[in-house]
Each structure stands twice: as C-alpha cells, then as structure tokens.
Structure 1
C-alpha cells in the first residue's frame, strides 16, 4: 500500500498562490505525512494551443491518479472576478470519473486564495472552490478561531480558508500571520486525513 499524502493542488499566475502552497506543505509535513504539490496548466482561448505534459519548471501537473489516491486535499487559486481561475475550474470539470466512482468521498479538503486587492473577492473565491469538493463528497474544513492569527491579521485570512493580500502589483510577500495560517491549515488537513483513514 502506498504511503498516505495530502495533495496541494493549485494554479498560480504571479507566484503568490505557489508561495502559499509551499507553506501549506510545511504544515502537512509537520504532521508526518507527505505533501505532494501539483499544479495545472494554463488554459488558452487559442484552441490550437497545447502544452507539454511535463512543465519546464516548478511542480508537475496534477493527474487524475494524484487526486484519486490522496488522503486529503488543499485546493488553491488566485481570485478571478470573485471566482477560481479558469485553469483550475477546467481541471476540476474533468474529474467526473472520480465523482462517478466516489473516489474522493469522506476525504478532508480545504481551500486557499490570493488577490491583488484587499476586498477583491477572496471569500467568494474560496466558496466557489468548495462547490465541486462538496459534489465529490469531501469533508470541508476551514480555519478555526483557535488560530490566533485569524484575529490578528491585517491582510489575508478567513475562516473559510487561508487568503493572502498580494497588493496592486502582486508584489507583497506573505505576512507572518498568513504564513502561520497556511501552515496551520496544512497541518489541520493532514491531521484530519490521519483520523479519517483510521
């Protein structure tokens, strides 16, 4: 039997969501479970465009098996008009086989996002990412207020999932509170994965 892992699946345009994914992985690994980081390819309105199966750099593209065999899931996207990015939505739209067979039922999941404006639709984006996970029968977990950074943050952070305020030019690094919340969310999903698999 393969070792359990939590899948950190994201799409990142300017790097902020990727930085969050790295911090989530630290939290997961603190729990003693492998963190498997995967991304998805961009989508194009040019129907002739295609990308290689393996990206030139960074994490590998997620496969259906990566998702099928995970013990838990952290799903991340930048805000796009109050919704998840098209690349992530496109990937999720292709997971009907997993839905038909119930492969993801009862696995823990959480969501995370980043926006360039402080009130740019972070919470609606997080909620939009939850919808397909609910259809898959996953067990959603947010961030509890027992995490003190949730009350202390002056930038990102919501009980629906971790968020990051990247700034108008998407050049703001993760704050100490955002970093702590990312790690806490990763740790929480890993711990829930252990409990739900027991």
Structure 2
C-alpha cells in the first residue's frame, strides 16, 4: 500500500499478459512487511514500431504510469519485465533510455535496486534478461541486490527463481508457491536495504564533510 509519509520502494514493471504484474504485486507485499518503508507500484506505456509512446496518459486499468519524479524520489527500485529474446521488453527499455537527466543529476546513485522477469519456457532467457536489466541500473549508480541462497525456495524451486532476481515460468497459469516466496523475499530484502541506506545517509554526509 502507498503511503506518502514514508520513503517508498518503486515497483516498476511492464506486463502484457499479467504474469509480471502478478510478480510485482507479490514483491510489493514483501516491501510492505518492512516497517518504515512502503511500496509504490507503477508501469510504463506500450510502444510500437511505427510510433514511440502510444498509450494515453492514464491507463485504462492496472497501475498508473511511472513519472520521472516518482523514479527520482524513490528509496529503492524493483524493475520487472517479461523476456524478449533474452532481454527486457522494448517498452521498459524505451522508458529507461529516456532517464538520462536522472543520470546526469545522479538522482539514483546509492539507491538499492533489484530485477525480476517472467518467460514462457524454462530456458527462455530468464537469467540473461535479469543480467541485462541490471546494466542501466549500474550506469545510474544503483546498488544491485539479488536473492541469496539463504532463501530455501531458491534451491528447491522447479519453476522460476534465480540468484539474480525473482523469476516466473509463465507456462504455469499462476505463480507457484516457491515463486511467491521468492518474490516476497526480494521485496523484503529491498525494503530493508532501502531503509538502512536512508538511515546511513546523515552519517555518510557528515563523514564526507
């Protein structure tokens, strides 16, 4: 749930058929389990080969579109996209390609970030998608957080789940129990890291002065 009084972790996703959106909801639930930080769920507009952004300013259903201000002011970021030939979807890449002003201003430096994805097949490019999604976040100076093997579901899952971030095998109709556990664990870890980094900011500023 959103709370303007708290620092928030932005759960930013693109989803065509709902699987990545379902993951976003579970990650947000994990974030909201951490006292002192809240989740904010947002999506990005569709694009086409003939034009650039094609959707209306407000989507007909689901999450609102992310604004530049919401991205700049987040305390942490979970970035999600289905796999497109082993990479993120064009709509998400287009959104990130237009954040150079935040890169110039250093707005995202030292904020924690994680990534998540879904594929239609077991070997459909989950890991390469997660790894390539990290690259623009590293350029922004963000601190990447994966999923540690202390999460038991990571070693027992027979569907989605990687140390690089939560994933989902969308040939299953719904998220499996292990996939849900890992999504929520990723949200909790990201929320905890965001809160710790916020609390350490005054100390870092004092030391740098």
Q: What TM-score comes out, normalization by structure 1 length?
A: 0.96
For residues 59-74 of structure 1, what are the structure 2 equivalents within 5 Å?
Answer: 59-74=63-78
1:3 aligns with 2:9: no
Change (3 A) 1:48 1:141: closer
**Deviation of residue 172 (structure 1)?**
2.1
Note the alpha carbon deviations across 1:124-151, whole angstroms, 9 max, x for none.
0001100000000000000000000000
- TM superposition outliers: structure 1 runs of 4+ over 4 Å: none
Deviations along 1:31-52, whole A, 9 cap, x unmatched? 0221100000111112287321
Distance 2:169 2:177 in 1: 12
- CA-to-partner distance for each residue in 1:43-88, whole Å, 9 max, x for gaps? 1112287321111111000010010000000000000000000000
TM-score if structure 2 supplies the norm length? 0.91
Alignment of 1:99-118 (within 5 A): 99-118=103-122
Q: Secondary structure at the match of 2:50?
A: coil
Quick one: distance in 1 between partners of 2:5 and 2:181? Answer: 30
Matched, 1:140 2:144: yes
User: What's the RMSD between the two structures over aligned residues?
Assistant: 1.3
Distance in 2 (CA, whole Å) between partners of 1:56 and 1:47 is 20
1:177 to 2:178 alignment: yes
